[in-house]
Amino acid sequence: MDDIQVAGQRQPKVANHGYLRTPKFIDRMATEIDFKTLTAHAKENGFIYQSSEIYDGLAAAYDYGPNGVLLKNNLKEYWWRSMVQLHDNIVGIDASIFMHPKTWKASGHVDAFNDPLIDNKDSKKRFRADVLIEDHMDKIEGKINKEVAKGLKRFGDDFDEAEFRATNPNVQRYVQQYDEIAKRLATAMTDGNMAELKQIIEDLGIADPDTGSKNWTDVRQFNLMFSTQLGNIAGEEGKLYLRPETAQGIFVNFTNVQKTTRQKLPFGIAQIGKAFRNEIVARQFIFRMREFEQMEMQFFIQPGTQQEWYEQWKEARMKWHLALHPQSKLRFHDHDNLAHYADAAVDIQFEFPFGFKELEGIHSRTDFDLGAHQELSGKKMQYFDPETKESYVPYVVETSIGADRLFLATLTHALMDEQVPGQDDPNNTRTVLKLHPAIAPVKAAIMPLKRNDDRLVNMAKDIFNDLRFRFEVQYDDTGSIGKLYRRQDAVGTPFCITVDFDSIEDGTVTVRDRDTLEQVRVKKEELAGMIGPRVGMGTLLRSAQ
């Protein structure tokens, strides 16, 4: 995990070989779009804009445009309905962003939610020491990938990647280097050993990536919470924090929710909301932001059952992702070094254009959080078990995913350049966003064949005004049909409905499928029945079960 595992301290990157690209993946690269093109596409098509762009932007803050907000809402709905609607024993809340400052003392964030910082004395730039080391490790991983790609090229279909990895001396040398660094980094991070982090940077000869200078300061801890001040209380007493995770809003409400819903253990509380972290390294577009949205679920269980529930949630969450994304893009990544209050933790990683990175974390958090709140608040955070007639502080298994990261993963996988289906000419290509129809921002676009014919326009508008009551649709007559189709492909609209001169005669329209480009003629009265079930959330939700 590249972020915190649970409240308190960030977890270091650990060695993780054996997951590099398969030959199949290398083949598919030809149609995938590079990261720069993806960010440009996101802006040009109304998905994501830089925050306050007219003032040259604010780093690590982004705004969702008209298509972006629709897509993000659909992703959030997919998560919420999977969690809350489809589980009798999971309920939702919406806690406030501001919480009593003692919350963050109890959770460990005030004392230990830190990043190790290092400054370059020449360039005056600030870096995260662990990220500098991780970037160095990524370069080594890149060299391993290169060797594997060379092997694939040399041996073609006979290439046995596992065998190659186990025997190629270059790969083995790089793997050993990588593992040694990973181990040192993990130990230094777990021990909070800032001097050792600096030593690793010096030993590896890591330079400022922009200037090449190796003139570094010592490494020091930097707390990531944003703070603000209450208007009516001066000084420390009035200091408030913007929540760095939504989870604590769930923990402090545990007894409220349990009592008012009369839920019995095991049960979960889910929440979607904003979180804020003063990230030092804020880059890679919406992957790491200072203001972002989390979708978290705390599952409260009987102590001693955590291993079983941890495994169940791991499986359930992976299934949820697989309903949206291919298996080759996803993997588990175990944590070797656990924080003292966790007894198991794993990331679900996604292959972003810059490599496999954390998308979601699943953490067995023991009774750490409820126990800490009980102690500091003096209020009981216990559950009376009607079967055993005992009271205890429940254990917790948490699932935590960033909505923005999920958005980026979805765009990364869905956006592609491809040869136009049904066309022989390989140079005849299109850019298409192959989103699952249930999460596509717009489900169908309705367009008249000619915009200067009132009969076509009126019929298209009638269809639009009917369908808009059922799902998200768009009316468009601002260009030629070919141009309008391409525009809809670029934002992932699964269906285009065209009203032509036959439509006026017989009341039928053409429906074009985004992926196959097949066109069928359908009576206008049958449109809702045909498209509705294919763009609804039901199929997606079912396939995630």
Site for ligand GAP, rule CB under 6 A: 1, 3-4, 6, 245, 247, 277, 279, 288-289, 292, 294, 296, 358-361, 398, 400-402, 404-405
First vs last C-alpha separation in the chain: 26
Q: Please identify, using beta-carbon distances, which residue of 103 and 493 lies nearer to ligand GAP.
A: 103
Q: Which is nearer to ligand GAP, 405 or 413 (CB)?
A: 405
Instruction: Indicate the pairing of strand 508-513 with strand 495-499.
Output: antiparallel
Closer residue to ligand GAP, CB minimum distance, 411 or 497? 411
Nearby residues of 20 by Cβ (< 8 Å), 6 or more positions away = 141, 144, 145, 148, 161, 165
To ligand GAP, the closest distance from the beta carbon of 374 in angstroms equals 19
To which residue do tokens 């489809």 refer? 86
Q: How far is the CB of 347 from ligand GAP (least distance, A)?
A: 7
Alpha helices in 415-469 (DSSP H): 454-467
User: Is 65 or 244 the residue whose CB approaches ligand GAP more closely?
Assistant: 244
> 66 in helix, strand or coil?
helix
| Nearest-approach distance from CB 107 to ligand GAP, in angstroms | 10
Output 404 or 489, the one with its CB closest to ligand GAP: 404
Between 134 and 296, name the residue whose CB sits nearer to ligand GAP.
296
Nearer to ligand GAP, 322 or 517 (CB): 322
- For the bound state, the minimum distance from the C-beta of residue 251 to ligand GAP, rounded and expressed in Å, comes to 10
Tokens of 511: 């429906």
- SS3 assignment, position 452: coil
Supply the minimum distance, in Å, between the C-beta of residue 3 and ligand GAP.
Answer: 3
Cβ nearer to ligand GAP, comparing 243 with 512: 243
Nearest residue to 286 (alpha-carbon basis) of 1, 47, 11: 47
Return the residue matching tokens 């330079």. Answer: 207
- Residue showing the smallest CB distance to ligand GAP in the complex: 402
CB nearer to ligand GAP: give 165 or 325: 325
Q: How far is the CB of 73 from ligand GAP (least distance, A)?
A: 17
Report in angstroms how near the CB of residue 401 gets to ligand GAP at its nearest: 5
Contact, 214 vs 223, CB < 8 A? no
> Which tokens belong to 413?
């996988």
Nearer to ligand GAP, 79 or 475 (CB): 79
Give the Cβ contact number of residue 334 at 10 Å: 11
Rounded to the nearest whole angstrom, what is the least distance from the CB of residue 468 to ligand GAP in the complex?
A: 33
Nearer to ligand GAP, 249 or 448 (CB): 249
Check whether the bond before 353 is cis (ω within 30° of 0).
no
CA pair distance 37, 40, nearest whole angstrom: 5
Looking at beta carbons only, is 333 or 514 nearer to ligand GAP? 333
Q: Taking the complex as a whole, how short is the minimal distance between the CB of residue 492 and ligand GAP, in angstroms?
A: 22
Q: How far is the CB of 62 from ligand GAP (least distance, A)?
A: 10
Q: Determine which helix (DSSP H) or strand (DSSP E) holds 42, and give its type and residue range.
A: helix 35-44
- 229 by DSSP, 3-state: which? strand
Distance in angstroms (rounded) separating the CA atoms of residues 166 and 223: 42
Least CB distance to ligand GAP at residue 295 (A): 8
The CB-of-9 to ligand GAP minimum distance in angstroms stands at 10
* Amino acid letter, 467: L
Radius of gyration (Cα) for the chain, nearest Å? 26
Taking the least distance from each CB to ligand GAP, the nearer of 281 and 541 is 281
| Whole-number Å distance between alpha carbons of 208 and 216 | 9
Helices and strands counted in the chain (H then E): 19, 23
Distance CA 217, CA 124 (A): 10
Smallest separation (angstroms) from ligand GAP to the CB of 279? 5
Instruction: Write down the least CB distance from residue 202 to ligand GAP, Å.
Output: 28
Residue closer to ligand GAP, measured from CB, 252 or 401: 401
> Which whole-number Å values give the CA distances from 430 to 47, 217, 496, in the listed order?
19, 50, 16
Which residues make Cβ contacts (< 8 Å) with residue 515, sequence separation at least 6?
421, 432, 434, 494
Please state, in angstroms and rounded to a whole number, the distance separating the CA atoms of residues 292 and 190: 26
In contact, 266 and 254? CB cutoff 8 Å: no
Write out the H or E segment, with its range, that includes residue 350.
strand 344-352
How far is it, in rounded angstroms, from Cα 380 to Cα 382? Answer: 6
Burial class (CB in 10 A: 0-12, 13-18, 19+), 54: exposed
